[in-house]
Amino acid sequence: MADSKRLAFVPPRYGDEVVGGSEALMREAAHGLAGRGWEVDVLTTCARDHYTWANAYPPGEFETGGLTVRRFPTVHDTDPMVADAVLRRILVGVPVSAEEELSWVTGFFRVPELYHHLVAQGAGYRAVILSPYLFWTTVVGATACPERTVVVPCLHDEAFAYLSIFRPVLADVAQVWFLSEPEHELAHRLGPVAADHSVVGCGVPIPARYDPEGFRARHGLGSRPFVLYAGRREALKGWDDLLRGYTTAVTRLGVDIDLVTVGVGTVDPPESVAGRVVDLGFLPEDEVADAFAAAAAYLQPSPNESFSRTVMESWLAGTPVIASSAGAVVEWHCRRSGAGIVYRDDDELAECLALAADAPERLAALGRRGRDYVLANYTWDAVLDRMEAALGTLP
């Protein structure tokens, strides 16, 4: 019989050094609910790197911050060439069979010991919370005890979301929690959604203080203005598009502003702007907060966002946001808050960068408006209230 206050959070990766919005959401929600008296287990893999999914952490159980974390090893026993071939077809829109979809999902990794744990122990949890939709841990984990499974899909309007293998993940579980209204609307366009679903949002920690000048000094940035990108440097996150637009603005239009980036992935700027693109790599959370505060603006080029935590972190620091209109969720946040500027192409991005470089005072009001928006909607107290209200409706 389920313990009315016992929860299992099931992210594919877990740890302070793991970069990703879904991973941060699951980590902070787990700690937040534990702080409210819930007994929380984190069931995850031994992987740290989402490129290889290699087992980097030791398997087993340990305690951290009031949580019990159980790590299970990933298994790599499929032909990666088969998965890569299916991936290429998915990305270009070629139909694939159900068997091919499964071969692609299992081509990343499998975690059979985690699944066996959920089958054996799932009935002891009030809820099993899985995120994001894209990985084996959610696709297969959702079948272990669907009557008490909550999925936080972190959906993007991308080719993968239209695959049939993900339909049961949204339809055949107890609850679905969405992070934004556009994500909620996308789910209904894709197919059936569990009757019990809600938009809970995502919380963002509020730094006690910011040290923008100290950040500049610590990283040798001097007094030159810069725009910031934080996160995964990947094509699917818009990094390549951002580099192209930034290079156009600097080399062809003479916009005088640097680009600083923090996070993971290859930066690889064109030679013409290599001296203007500063890669600070992975930084601890307090340093990232100071980076937001020191920037003239934050750039969000990604079309694939279900919430965009970094946009909220920028606004909390009082820093305006410049975002691609291709991202429906971020465009919705910018419109709803009145705190961001969206661009449609490289030319409009260049205009936004010129504004950040030459007239930052015109953007200052946007940053202040953004901070008010985050504090009104996305504090962890407010989001945990919504999560607990949803958990309260589970049998």
Look up residue 281 and give its amino acid.
G
**Superfamily name with CATH number, domain 6-203+379-391:** Glycogen Phosphorylase B; (3.40.50.2000)
Q: If we measure between CA atoms, which residue out of 14, 390, 26, 3 comes closest to residue 203? A: 26
CB 349 within 8 A of CB 247: no
Instruction: Give per-residue burial for 141-177: e unless 16+ CB within 10 Å, then b.
Output: bbebbbebbbbbbbbbbeebbebebbebbbbebbbbb
Report how far residue 28's alpha carbon sits from residue 200's, in angstroms, rounded to the nearest whole number. 14
Written as one string, the DSSP assignment of 154-218 is ---SSGGGGSGGGHHHHHSSSEEEESSHHHHHHHHHHS---SSEEE--------S---HHHHHHH
List the Cα angle 119/125/128 in 5-degree steps: 70
79-104 pLDDT, tens digit per residue, is 778 888 898 999 888 999 999 999 99
**Res. 2: pLDDT tops 80:** no
CB 149 within 8 A of CB 128: yes
CB 312 within 8 A of CB 375: no
30-78 pLDDT, tens digit per residue, is 999 999 999 999 999 999 988 889 999 999 999 988 899 999 999 998 7
Q: Given this model, what pLDDT does residue 50 score?
A: 84
- Average pLDDT along the chain: 93
Q: If we measure between CA atoms, which residue out of 327, 284, 306 comes closest to residue 184? A: 306
Report how far residue 186's alpha carbon sits from residue 303's, in angstroms, rounded to the nearest whole number. 13
Tokens 């958990």 label which residue?
A: 391
**Res. 185: pLDDT tops 70:** yes
Report how far residue 263's alpha carbon sits from residue 384's, in angstroms, rounded to the nearest whole number. 27
Is the domain spanning 212-376 CATH 3.40.50.2000? The answer is: yes
Report how far residue 220's alpha carbon sits from residue 258's, in angstroms, rounded to the nearest whole number. 13
298-313 pLDDT, tens digit per residue, is 999 998 889 999 999 9
Which one-letter DSSP state was computed for residue 75?
Answer: B
CA 266 to centroid of chain Cα atoms:
18
**Res. 384: pLDDT tops 60:** yes
Contacts of 306 (CB under 8 A, 6+ apart): 21, 132, 153, 154, 155, 156, 178, 179, 180, 183, 329
Q: Domain ranges in the chain?
A: 6-203+379-391, 212-376
The pair of three-digit structure tokens given for residue 110, joined into one six-digit string: 């499998």
